[in-house]
Structure formats: structure tokens, C-alpha cells
Amino acid sequence: MRRRQLLIVGAGVCVSSAWAAGAAGTGPGFDVQAWPAKSGVPAIPAADQTGQPWSLPSLRGKVVLLNFWASWCEPCRAEMPALQALAAREQAQLAVLTINLKESPEAIARFVQISGLSLPVLRDPQGDTARAWGVRIYPSTVLIDRDGVPRATVRGALDWAGAEGEALWRPLLQPARKR
């Protein structure tokens, strides 16, 4: 279907606005893929743009959303306010880390200043982190449960502060079932 084609932009792939809006209103502008069984937990960049260190083990006990984005990606920019609102509202039980693809520190700083973004921005200068996490579509958000286990990847933009977003992350607050 032509309307659901992906738009290749720069060094990555960004969900086109036609797809993000749902072709002819036929569905959401995102899909959810279960994290592959027996896959490990890749590393994340060690520090954000301010120099604050981050690690997934230090966030155990919280649900973590790893949002992969770029400032050239319109759907990425469009979902940032919802991610920021969610992070502020649920900070006791949820952490949102954003990982920027291949942009310079100056470009990131400009975007942060213009947008008023206060979420941590970790830089992926060569795209190695995105590759390790299996991200090829932007935005993509990896959902990690309270035990530090990746559970799913959401490809495409959505209202994370609304009901659709909550339906995806809130169940991860429950303890994992023993296997």
C-alpha cells in the first residue's frame, strides 16, 4: 500500500506523516512488536547531554521508556511533548530516556532550547545504539519493565500521555511472572 510507505530521510528512516496518521483513518500510526525472546539487553549511552550518567540497572524498580528520535523526524518532534508530560506526571514509577540518532551536540542543544525539552537526551553519534536495540524506524520506543527486561518496541508516534500510551506502559508496573 503506497500510503504506508516509509520515508527515507538522512541516515535513518522516519515514519511518514501519512503512515503516522493512519492511512485513510484505518488504524493507529504505530505498531507494537514483542521484544525477541532470548535477546539480551543492549547497552545505552552512558551520559546525557548535560553529563549526567545513566544506566538501566540504576533504573530498576521503574518502567523505562527508551525513545529513539531525531530532530529531522516530524513524528519524533510531535510526540516529544506527550513523552515529557508523561515523564513529569509519573516520575515516581517511570523514567523516559531519549536517544538521539547521529546529530551533533549543537543540533541537539538547539532542539532542546527551541522545544523546551527537559527529558534526558543521550547521544548515539554513529547509530550503534539504535542498531543494537534493533531500531530502524523513527520514532521507536522500547518498553522496559521494572525488572530491567525489555518487553516490546513501539514503532511510530503516539500520545504517550494518553490512554493508548498508558495501556502500553502501565501493565509493566506489575511484577514479571515466574517462568
Grid cell, residue 4, equals 504506508
Residue type, 170: R
pLDDT for 47:
93
Query: Is the CB of residue 13 less than 8 Å from the CB of residue 6?
Result: yes
Q: Phi and psi at residue 164, in whole multiples of 5°?
A: -60, -45
Q: Which residue has the higher pLDDT, 13 or 127?
A: 127
CA distance 41 to 86: 24
pLDDT, tens digit (0-9, with 9 covering 90-100), for 106-145: 999 999 999 999 999 999 999 999 999 999 999 999 999 9
pLDDT for 15:
44
Q: Which residue has the higher pLDDT, 4 or 162?
A: 162
pLDDT for 4:
32
As assigned by CATH, the class of the 30-36+45-173 domain is alpha beta
Residue ranges in the chain assigned as alpha helix (H): 17-20, 74-89, 105-115, 128-132, 163-169
Q: List b or e across 107-127, with b for residues whose CB sees 16 or more CB atoms inside 10 angstroms.
A: ebeebbeeeebebbbbbbeee
Tell whether the model's pLDDT for residue 102 goes beyond 80.
Answer: yes
> What DSSP letter does each residue of 44-91 carry, written as one string?
--SBBTTS-B--SGGGTTSEEEEEEE-TT-HHHHHHHHHHHHHHHHTT
CA distance 76 to 137: 10
Least confident window among 1-5, 48-52, 138-142: 1-5
State the average pLDDT over residues 93-99.
97
Residue 153, strand partner residues: 33, 142
State the average pLDDT over residues 83-107.
97
Q: Where are the domains of the chain?
A: 30-36+45-173
Tell whether the model's pLDDT for residue 44 goes beyond 70.
Answer: yes
Residue type, 45: P
What is the DSSP secondary structure assignment for residue 11, as one 8-state letter? Answer: T
pLDDT for 14:
56
pLDDT for 38:
85
- pTM of the entire predicted model: 0.84
pLDDT for 174:
84
